[in-house]
Chain A
Amino acid sequence: MHSLRLKLIVGSLLVLTAVILSFDGFIFTAKRGALLDILDSRLFAESQSLARRLEIAGGRPVFDAADDAGAKPTITSLNRIVDENRLIVYQSPNSTKIPWPPTPKDASTPSWKTVRSAKGEAWRTVTWMDRLELDAESGEKNATRPETTITVAIQCAESLAETDEELRELASLLAGLSLAAFLIAGGGSFLLAGWALRPIRRINKALAGVSETRLDRRINPEGFDTELHPLIEQLNAALDRLDKGFQRERQFTADASHELRTPLAAILNTIEVMLRRPRAEHELIEAHQDNWRAARSMQAIIEGLLLLARMDAGKAAPAKEKIPLLALVDDIFASVGPQAEAGKVRLERAIDPGLRVLADPSQLRLALANLIDNAVRYNRLNGSVTIRARMSEGGALIEVGDTGIGIPTEQLPRIFERFYRVDPSRAEATGRSGLGLSIVRKIAETHGGRVTATSGPEGSIMTVFLPEA
């Protein structure tokens, strides 16, 4: 049963059924009790009038049946009187058709019982013991009978047919009313459940309008019950995250295709223009040089994208080992040396010779090489690049500082995004992939660390933190 509406309906009907049934039971029992009370007191009164007609004659109880025809209270009742020796003193006609309850030895309080005749009819009986005083003066007291009283059992019975009939009518009335109540309540709970579930349908409808291309849609919590506001807020927050994710993905794809198509267009166009007519050798050489540069920039982008894709897919898990940092930095300095010399940029380092960093050797080299390369490229004439490293907060902090023009504060949070360029025209001129810093960030993240940037008029500092564990 996976329908919320069905659960609500069935649940409310179960509760309702229990309430109706106990109400019916209470009414029925109360009515039955009241009817029996009336019947019982009538029976007792009748038996008392029977008792008044008992006399003692010759030391034995005798029933005065003289005015039987007139004084008999009801024709539907059966009566009998039994003495101590279970001998019938009196019994009304037909009184043998019911099994009379046994008479107790000496009970003065009346007891009521329901018995069934051979035909299955229910009869209500009352039984009580009456004590008849023996008259001493009449000489009825003798040696053989030392007692002064005689006890007789008086029993009256009346058919329960009328009472049962009345109770049956009540039962069918209650059944009819209950069924009607059940149906009305069932229909009501069906409508109520539908009404209660209406916001869910509305949310559903609102969500149906949100597809990959319309992720900017949000559900307005106004008009919804306050209980649903947290749910709607959560849904909207989830949509926000999805939307941003898709936007980043779209932006990345658009950027990647732009970055690749532009140099490709340059190569194709150069070739096509060259092929339009016979060319002199110097023209061909120049075209080849242009194409080589464009192809190299495509290569840098493709390799960067492949590396990022591998790391995104978790396929480039770092194989960590303790790396002597000083040797690694000197090695990178050696490879960027010619470029630094060309820009008259000094390469400086302040690293403890014993400092070892836990990292994947090739990934750490790539990250530091990217940062140092950037620091050299975006430096000023006669500037410097300074590497500092120390252990702190359970990891290694490596700083790469430059003396360039710095990065505007509002752009700092974005410089690690893929294809983000502080100055696009300069990046184009230097043939960078636009992925260098995002690769540094990805490497720091796969090591469980991070990279941050600070910048001022005297230059920028990129700080890589790599945890020890």
Chain B
Amino acid sequence: MRLLIVEDNRALLKSLKKGLEEESFAVDTAEDGEEGLFLAEANDYDVVILDLMLPKIDGLTLLSKVRAKRLSAHILILTARDAPEDKVRGLNSGADDYLTKPFRFEELLARIRALLRRKYRAKNPRLLVADLEIDTTTRAVIRGDRKIPLRPKEYALLEYLAHRAGEIVTRSEIWEHLYDWQDDTTSNLIDVFISRLRKKIDRPGLRPLIRTVRGSGYLLKAE
């Protein structure tokens, strides 16, 4: 899942990026409203974490511009402004959630996951595809009764495929949602990760779940 953080405090930005990347998110960052708006318009982010008091373009203006362009990203406002009227204004301007500083990283994480469930229309934090079970909270993956250890990028790919189970997911969509702009998009990274996932999930003797749709992309499906 790909996130954008727009935050002008570098120390906070740095620790947020580190913490979220360790949770298998692809994270882009912007230090002012202008850069934030540019990135939000250029990429299909799953969740944008937005500060309100920003240089150049303030958070609320950015928010209304993003909403006017009908971008589908879920937006979480993360700000020091804790007055009820600020929260009301933020949510009424099109934000999906509002969290005030200082905050608990755990809570931010839980809220991001809740927004992702909303975006992919999943009520249950456990994703089930046939006998494959993905716990999005603990990032534990179980097939049958075997726990499958996955690397962060492998997990991110599997979770994204599981969220869209039954649909064909294109390679460019995988790029959009799993990699930040620093990753090298010209490489065959996706093929590498798909084959690694296959080895771990679809072990010999089990029904294969990850399928390749020639010329289109990939599909995670029970049948």
Chain A interface (Cβ < 8 Å from any Cβ of B): 254, 257-258, 261-270, 272-273, 276-277, 287, 290-291, 293-294, 423-425, 428-429
Question: Is B101 an interface residue, CB under 8 A from the partner?
Answer: yes
A71 to B80, CA, bound (A): 121
Contact B10 A428 (CB under 8 A): yes
Residues of chain B lying within 8 A (CB to CB) of residue A262: 9, 12, 80, 101
Q: Which of B1-32 contact A (CB under 8 A)?
A: 8-12, 14-16, 18-19, 22, 31-32
Question: Is B56 an interface residue, CB under 8 A from the partner?
Answer: yes
Most buried by B among A265, A273, A287, A293: A265
Question: Is B151 an interface residue, CB under 8 A from the partner?
Answer: no
| 16 pairs, A vs B, C-beta closer than 8 Å | A261-B80, A263-B9, A265-B9, A265-B101, A268-B102, A268-B104, A269-B15, A269-B19, A273-B19, A276-B22, A290-B11, A428-B8, A428-B9, A428-B10, A428-B55, A429-B10
Query: Which among B54, B55, B56, B80 is the interface contact of A265 at CB below 8 angstroms?
Result: B80
Chain B: interface residue total (CB-CB under 8 A): 29
Contact B55 A425 (CB under 8 A): yes
What's the count of A-B pairs with C-beta under 8 Å? 81
Main secondary structure of the interface of A (DSSP, over half): helix
Question: Is B38 an interface residue, CB under 8 A from the partner?
Answer: no
Contact B12 A425 (CB under 8 A): no
Question: Is B145 an interface residue, CB under 8 A from the partner?
Answer: no
A428 to B106, CA, bound (A): 26
Contact A290 B15 (CB under 8 A): yes
Residues of chain A lying within 8 A (CB to CB) of residue B105: 269, 272-273, 276
Residues of chain B lying within 8 A (CB to CB) of residue A273: 15-16, 18-19, 22, 105
Question: Is B81 an interface residue, CB under 8 A from the partner?
Answer: yes
Q: Which residue of A lies closest to B21 (CB)?
A: A273
Question: Is B53 an interface residue, CB under 8 A from the partner?
Answer: yes
Residues of chain A lying within 8 A (CB to CB) of residue B82: 257
Q: A272-B19, A273-B19, A276-B19 are in contact. Are A265 and B10 (CB under 8 A)?
A: no
Q: Which residue of B lies closest to A260 (CB)?
A: B80
Tell me the smallest distance from the CB of A211 to a CB of chain B, in Å: 15
The 10 A-B residue pairs whose C-beta atoms are closest, nearest first, are A273-B19, A265-B101, A266-B12, A266-B11, A261-B80, A425-B55, A258-B80, A270-B15, A265-B102, A424-B55
A257 to B16, CA, bound (A): 20
A410 to B14, CA, bound (A): 34
Question: Is B103 an interface residue, CB under 8 A from the partner?
Answer: yes
Residues of chain A lying within 8 A (CB to CB) of residue B101: 261-262, 264-265
Contact B102 A261 (CB under 8 A): yes
Q: A258-B53, A258-B80, A262-B101 are in contact. Are A277 and B22 (CB under 8 A)?
A: yes
Query: Which among B16, B53, B80, B100 is the interface contact of A269 at CB below 8 angstroms?
Result: B16
Question: Is B42 an interface residue, CB under 8 A from the partner?
Answer: no
Contact A272 B56 (CB under 8 A): no
Question: Is B83 an interface residue, CB under 8 A from the partner?
Answer: yes
Q: A262-B101, A265-B103, A272-B19 are in contact. Are A294 and B11 (CB under 8 A)?
A: yes
Residues of chain B lying within 8 A (CB to CB) of residue A269: 12, 15-16, 19, 102-103, 105
Beyond A257-B80, A424-B54, list 17 extra A-B contacts (CB 8 Å). A261-B101, A262-B80, A262-B101, A264-B102, A265-B12, A265-B103, A268-B104, A269-B103, A270-B11, A270-B15, A272-B19, A273-B18, A277-B22, A290-B15, A294-B11, A423-B55, A425-B31
Tell me the smallest distance from the CB of A16 to a CB of chain B, in Å: 57
Residues of chain B lying within 8 A (CB to CB) of residue A293: 11
Provide the B52-75 mask, 1 if CB < 8 A to any CB of A, else 0. 011110000000000000000000
Q: Which residue of A lies closest to B102 (CB)?
A: A265
Tell me the smallest distance from the CB of A313 to a CB of chain B, in Å: 26
Q: A272-B105, A272-B106, A273-B19 are in contact. Are A425 and B11 (CB under 8 A)?
A: no
Residues of chain B lying within 8 A (CB to CB) of residue A291: 11
Residues of chain A lying within 8 A (CB to CB) of residue B53: 258, 424
Residues of chain B lying within 8 A (CB to CB) of residue A254: 81, 83
Residues of chain A lying within 8 A (CB to CB) of residue B32: 425
Provide the B85-108 mask, 1 if CB < 8 A to any CB of A, else 0. 000000000000000111111100
Q: Which residue of A lies closest to B58 (CB)?
A: A424
A261 to B80, CA, bound (A): 6
Q: A264-B102, A265-B101, A428-B10 are in contact. Are A258 and B81 (CB under 8 A)?
A: yes
Residues of chain A lying within 8 A (CB to CB) of residue B19: 269, 272-273, 276
Residues of chain B lying within 8 A (CB to CB) of residue A277: 22
A366 to B112, CA, bound (A): 46
Residues of chain A lying within 8 A (CB to CB) of residue B102: 261, 264-265, 268-269
Tell me the smallest distance from the CB of A347 to a CB of chain B, in Å: 29
A429 to B10, CA, bound (A): 8
Residues of chain A lying within 8 A (CB to CB) of residue B8: 424-425, 428
Provide the B193-204 mask, 1 if CB < 8 A to any CB of A, else 0. 000000000000
Tell me the smallest distance from the CB of B74 to a CB of chain A, in Å: 20
Query: Which among B14, B16, B22, B56 is the interface contact of A425 at CB below 8 angstroms?
Result: B56
Contact B22 A290 (CB under 8 A): no
A52 to B105, CA, bound (A): 136
Residues of chain B lying within 8 A (CB to CB) of residue A258: 53, 79-81
Residues of chain B lying within 8 A (CB to CB) of residue A257: 80, 82
Q: Which residue of B lies closest to A254 (CB)?
A: B81
Q: Which residue of A lies closest to B52 (CB)?
A: A258
Tell me the smallest distance from the CB of B86 to a CB of chain A, in Å: 9
A254 to B79, CA, bound (A): 11
